[in-house]
Structure 1
Amino acid sequence: MFQKLFTSSILLLFFLNSFSQDKINVILIGTFHFNNPGNDAAKTNNRDMLSKENQLGLEQITDLIVKKYKPDQIFVESNYNKKRELNDNYQLYLKDKFSAFTDTIKNARMRKLYTEGETFQLAFRLAKKAKNEVIYPIDTLIELRFDLLQKLIKSDAKLSQIFKDKVANLSKKANYTLAKKDLKEVFKDLNTDKDLNENKGFYISFANSLGINENYFGANLVSDWYKRNLIMYSNVQNQLISNTKNIVILVGTGHAAMFKDFIKNDEKFNLIELKTVL
């Protein structure tokens, strides 16, 4: 009898404590890639993020986030194993010496990444305003054979047409959003449940069903996609520091679609819809 009462008391205490602890507010920002490397199947038009108009937009967005939910930590889609390199660059940024580094980059594609990429243009700017000392990378390298997926699709005329139609629709919608003048409206549109679910739906409703006779190639590809996102999410969970109240996670919209589900099912977090911030 005593053992049962003791066990019940412990369970009740754990239950009450889990609800008494404050949840961490999470602002999840699904973004397009500012430097537009063109790696995605859906092709989007370039948006000059260095223009006066877009620089003003980034100032407005970061000001609003800091005013309403000053982030204690900011997590970005950058290589988890290169945290030191990322933060060395951030320290240069804080000292207004970042351009001295980017000017030394001879490869045009890499220079564009470091000068225009969302990590440096949005996350660094936000972290500086929030007086953060460190940026937290979360990305992991898992090989996803989309080249083999496309080869499989091309072998079937019907599948090929379905794929082309899906990509064309995604490209059209993305370009419509990116053409909006107000950068805040661009981010609001990118982060609606409808758009995020359509992004995620491509993997579930289309890719997952392919290659059943090729050892379930589609399902294995989708499971690798989930695995990558779960590892990235784990890199968020395991870099949280004590007393953190507000965090920002900045990732591509494909990752954001997955992360939104993870956050909603994580008892430690309280998801803040981006539209309520901007």
Structure 2
Amino acid sequence: MRKTAQLRLSLLILVACAGPETITNSNGNVQTDSTDKVQIMLLGTFHFNQFHNAGNPASNFFSEQRQQEIAEVNQALKAFAPDMIMIEREPKTQATHDSLYQLYLNGELNPEEVENGAGEVYQLAFKLAKSLGQEKLHCVDYNESTSQGLLSSGDNIEVFQNGLQHFQQTTRGATSKFMEGQTTFMEFLYFMNKPEIVQLSHQQFYNLPAYVQNGSFKSYEGLNRSTIDTTQIGAEFIALFYERNLKIYSNILNAQVKHKGKRILLIMGQTHIGVLQNIIKNNPNYEIVSTNLYLKEKEV
């Protein structure tokens, strides 16, 4: 009896001294800490560089006004105090982005002079990471042959197309106001990350396509056409998008385990947010933090 008690005491001491290391519990779940969950905030963005127009003051994202707005967004995000910032770039480009970020830290890289420098990677991720004193960003994207315009024909294609039209009508006004300079970066990002807008884009690309059968894709470039069942073309469309996001999710998990982050900010195109939220919320080791708790509440 005494030996058993001593053994139990020894085990308790070992557990107490183990600290917040990565462990695997009896259910096979990887846990980064025995008590605390990894907090993750998913910021859905548009790709700034696709809208940037140096010839138009409202859409010149390097203008004094727009740079001030971007600084306000970064200050709001800084309050979350992320210890890892993940970006929509593939892990195979990590070394490249490490080099670019180091040049930026050293004052040797001006985003205004590089390709896609007006984009969210430079304007949000680089600037925020520097202000937080972080040594690197983390590339977690998985880029496959997916396109929102890939589904082009089939039975009930009008269900998908009508949904797309509704989605575009819902967001077009907000986008126009932003591009005309009537709303700020903060206001537009707040709008894009509202739960109902995230849900609307999620429904458009992960639900409505299932209505479409007996059709085809606009392009099969980069795809193995022989493996695609065109009688279930809508489901195939969803599967392509879902598989990509599953692989992004896997990259998130592995980057977190490697670098032991506890507060993650993921900056990703808005159409990724709904599906990633659905996947992550089923991981008992993670807690999703609402982005709009940090972005200032302003309506577009």
Residue 218 in 1 paired to residue 234 in 2? yes
Amino acid in structure 1 at the alignment position of 2:105: L
Q: Does 1:187 align with 2:202?
A: no
Q: Encode CA deviations 1:110-133: one digit per residue, 9 max, x unaligned.
A: x2x1x1011011100011111111
1:126 equivalent among 116, 125, 128: 128
User: Would the aligned equivalents of 1:233 and 1:259 in 2 still touch at CA under 8 Å?
Assistant: yes
Q: Which residue of 1 aligns with 2:86?
A: 75
Rg: which structure is higher? 2
Which residue pairs with 2:37 in the alignment?
23
User: Residues of 2 paired with 1:272 and 1:211: CA distance?
Assistant: 37
From 71, 74, 86, the counterpart of 1:62: 74
How far the C-alpha of 1:264 sits from its partner, in A, is: 1.9
CA contact (8 A) 1:34 1:47 kept: no
Q: CA–CA distance in 1 between the matches of 2:49 and 2:294?
A: 25
Partners of 1:164 and 1:244 lie apart in 2 by: 37
**Structure 2 SS opposite 1:128:** helix
Which of 205, 208, 211 is matched with 1:206 structurally? 208
**Paired residue for 2:108, among 97, 102, 106?**
97
Stretches of structure 2 that go unaligned for 5 or more consecutive residues are: 1-24, 53-57, 216-229, 296-300
CA gap of 1:236–1:204, structure 2 versus 1, over 3 A, is: closer
Q: CA deviation at 1:189?
A: 0.9
1:229 to 220, 231, 245: 245
* Larger relative contact order (Cα-Cα within 8 Å, sequence gap ≥ 6): 1
Superposition RMSD in Å? 3.0
| Distance in 2, Cα, partners of 1:35 & 1:121 | 10
Contact 1:177 1:190 in 2 (8 A): no
Residue 268 (structure 2) aligned to one of 251, 266, 270: 251
For residues 229-265 of structure 1, the C-alpha deviation after alignment (integer angstroms, 9 at most, x for no partner) is 1101110100114552211000000011212222222
| 3-state SS in 2 of match to 1:116 | coil
2:162 partner letter? I
Structure 1 unmatched runs, 5+: 1-12, 39-45, 106-110
Aligned match of 1:135: 137
2: CA distance, partners of 1:146 / 1:24: 31
Residues 242 and 172 of structure 1, relative CA distance in 2, 3 Å threshold: closer
After superposition, the Cα gap between the structure-2 partners of 1:31 and 1:209, relative to the gap in structure 1 and judged at 3 Å, is same
Residue 158 to residue 208, structure 1, CA distance change in 2 (3 Å): closer
Equivalent in 144, 147, 172 of residue 146 of structure 2: 144
Aligned 8 A contact 1:74 1:127 in 2? yes
Structure 2: how far apart are the matches of 1:189 and 1:206? 22
Higher normalized helix content (fraction of residues): 1
- Tell me how far 1:208 sits from its aligned partner: 1.9
SS of structure 2 residue aligned to 1:239: helix
Would the alpha carbon gap of residues 205 and 177 (structure 1) be closer, same or farther in structure 2, given more than 3 Å must change? farther
Q: Quote the Cα distance in structure 1 between the aligned partners of 2:164 and 2:40.
A: 35
Say which SS state the counterpart of residue 238 (structure 1) adopts: helix
Indicate the residue corresponding to 2:64 in structure 1: 52
Q: CA deviation at 1:184?
A: 1.6
The yes-or-no answer on 1:260 pairing with 2:274 is no
Give the 3 Å change call, closer, same or farther, for CA 90–156 of structure 1 in structure 2.
same
What are the superposed Cα offsets for residues 88-135 of structure 1, whole Å, 9 maximum, x if unpaired? 111111111113x874x6xxxxx2x1x101101110001111111111
Q: TM-score, normalised to structure 1's length?
A: 0.77
In the superposition, relative to structure 1, how do residues 145 and 188 fare at CA in structure 2: closer, same or farther (>3 Å)?
closer
The number of aligned residues is 246
Distance in 1, matches of 2:87 and 2:128, equals: 12
Partner SS for 2:199: helix
